[in-house]
Structure 1
Amino acid sequence: MRSLSLLALCSFSCLSFAADVPGSQDLPIVPRMVDAQIVDYRPAVELERIYPLGSIRKISGQLRFDGQVSARGNATSVTYELPPEHSATQAFTAAREALQKQDAQLLFWCQARDCGESSLWANEVFGNAKLYGSDNEQAYLLLRLAAPHDNTLVALYSITRGNRKAYLHVEQFEAAAPLGDLLPTSATLLRELKSTGELDFPKLTDAPDDTWLRLISRGLNLDTTLRTSLSGPNAEAWRQALIGQGVRAARLETGSVEGSGLHIELLR
């Protein structure tokens, strides 16, 4: 009986290991969801990479999107098939939260039809047909890791296919040259604020910066029902500047959250 039990245990362990694509491994920066299986793995390869910063569409045979990050470097990707008890949304959220705990900066975040056509993300952006599913069941996020790894980008893409199988794709890209300044979209700032309840800008320690002022004000004005509090060394200056950019004064309060830079908190 004991030998049968050991045999059964060995068989289960071997099957669990064999479920992953041979030679594959997790990316250290994103933890694997329990019982997820690696169904596609592409080790580091040097290439020219373009990551969209907007909804994608195809016009006259050419991909179109509002903005992009393009660079040469090494890309590594892992695609997980998720167990039935976990949704693509759950896996996407867990990966995003793990990266944000490492102070990664969100650059572009879209969900459902706001992303464009899933077929284009699957085949044109990631070159992986497994990622083709319902346009309403997709999410994409591009992040930049914090210094000293700020020349590394991470792309997340989750999808649920018509057969209800859910997938999470994780791609890590290490640029060969400095990426320079990269700014998030205003819509991404709003989505982050509504999803996490706060926005942190540790580098915005001085008087309001015109570029960031435009981005933040546009983000806040995409949903005029939201009220927020502003904290930081120059919180009142930012409040007045945002009012000057058309954000209603009644929507902005001065808060008391301590920190080195500007902190925006959603008031429930």
Structure 2
Amino acid sequence: MRLSLFFCLFLSPVVLADDLPGSSDLPILPRFAHAEIVDYSDAADVERRYPRGELRRISGQLRVEREVLAEGRLRALTYRLPDGHSPSEALAHARKTLLDGGAQLLYWCEGRECGSSNLWANALFGNAKLFGPDERQSFILLRLAEPQQNSLLALYGITRGNRRVYLQVEQLDADQAVADQLPTASTLLRQLRVHGDLKLPQLSELDTQWSELLARTLNLDSTLRVSLTGPQAEAWRAALVEQGVRSSRLEAGSGGAAGLQLQSLP
């Protein structure tokens, strides 16, 4: 029922009478129902540094543990969402739509885990409308699927102190190939907790970097048990045990889709 509600809340790309003149939605992402575009830009040769960790300022300099750097065409939209809705609703649907379409989630943070909302609003996006309480923010960064694998999609949502809700959506189409980036362990753990599963179709063979990352992910929550399915499920299970995950937390099954899939167990 809840998922159906999300689909009802979204519309095909459309221009509303209250939208900023000359603005338009991104073709890849339909807008939240009754949301209006309040800021819009479309520019070539823009450089963006998207954080993959807490955003903070140290000695006057913007600092982040990990980031994705890209340059190219940047389309940026700021939506005001209708009263009574939260940015998490919009982000939840966008996340599911894009992941089902093959996009890779590189980073996902919520609340104070993201760092300072003031820095996100003013230092990163250059839009004071996006400033609000740190605990009411959320951010996701995705790399789109082929043939748009050199495009990044960033979404930042905030509920301001006056209860107005804004959603920043940016698509950067890079001029150069975007370097491969592994998701953060905290992002993968959040996916498992919220969605209940983690689909990794690209992992058709055992990969050392990914086995280390998945082990770090599972060891962030020692109570989490998962099943592994896919052609190499037994090999992945053995690799995770070797990386320090207790064998009692892992079940391996046969069949399933290509690659590797993790599913949380009760």
Q: TM-score, normalised by structure 2?
A: 0.92
The aligned amino acid for 1:225 is T
Equivalent residue for 2:47?
A: 48
Matches for 1:217-256 after TM superposition, within 5 Å: 217-256=215-254
Equivalent residue for 2:263?
A: 265
Indicate yes or no: 2:132 matched with 1:133.
yes
Equivalent residue for 1:5?
A: none
Deviation at 1:141, TM superposition (A): 0.6
Q: Deviations over 1:126-158 (max 9, x none)?
A: 111110001000001100001111000000100
The aligned amino acid for 1:182 is Q
Deviation at 1:68, TM superposition (A): 0.8
Q: Distance in 1 between matches of 2:170 and 2:88?
A: 17
Deviation at 1:255, TM superposition (A): 2.5
Give the 3-state SS of the residue equivalent to 1:18 in structure 2: coil
Superposed CA RMSD? 1.2
Indicate yes or no: 2:114 matched with 1:115.
yes
Give the 3-state SS of the residue equivalent to 2:140 in structure 1: strand
Equivalent residue for 1:23?
A: 22
Judging changes above 3 Å, is the alpha-carbon distance between structure 1 residues 132 and 266 closer, same or farther for their aligned structure 2 residues? Answer: same
The aligned amino acid for 2:62 is L
Q: Distance in 2 between matches of 1:223 and 1:17?
A: 45
Deviation at 1:169, TM superposition (A): 0.9
Equivalent residue for 1:10?
A: none
Structure 1 segments of 4+ aligned residues over 3 angstroms from their partners: none
Give the 3-state SS of the residue equivalent to 2:122 in structure 1: helix
Q: Distance in 1 between matches of 2:168 and 2:255?
A: 35
Equivalent residue for 2:60?
A: 61
CA contact (8 A) 2:106 2:181 kept: yes
Q: Deviations over 1:206-249 (max 9, x none)?
A: 2x211101111101111111110001111011111101111111
Deviation at 1:102, TM superposition (A): 1.3
Q: Distance in 2 between matches of 1:257 and 1:229?
A: 12
Deviation at 1:48, TM superposition (A): 1.5
Q: Distance in 1 between matches of 2:244 and 2:221?
A: 13
Q: Distance in 1 between matches of 2:123 and 2:203?
A: 36
Matches for 1:49-198 after TM superposition, within 5 Å: 49-198=48-197
Q: Deviations over 1:75-96 (max 9, x none)?
A: 1011110111321111111221
Q: Distance in 2 between matches of 1:125 and 1:199?
A: 29
Q: Distance in 1 between matches of 2:208 and 2:197?
A: 21
Deviation at 1:180, TM superposition (A): 2.7
Structure 1 unaligned residues grouped into runs of 5+: 1-15
CA contact (8 A) 1:205 1:233 kept: yes
Deviation at 1:257, TM superposition (A): 5.0
The aligned amino acid for 2:235 is A
Q: Distance in 2 between matches of 1:18 and 1:104?
A: 32
Judging changes above 3 Å, is the alpha-carbon distance between structure 1 residues 146 and 17 closer, same or farther for their aligned structure 2 residues? Answer: closer
> Number of residues paired by the alignment?
252
CA contact (8 A) 1:257 1:263 kept: no
The aligned amino acid for 1:135 is D
Give the 3-state SS of the residue equivalent to 1:190 in structure 2: helix
Deviation at 1:181, TM superposition (A): 1.4
Q: TM-score, normalised by structure 1?
A: 0.91
Percent of pairs with identical residues: 54
Structure 2 unaligned residues grouped into runs of 5+: 1-14
Q: Distance in 2 between matches of 1:84 and 1:255?
A: 46
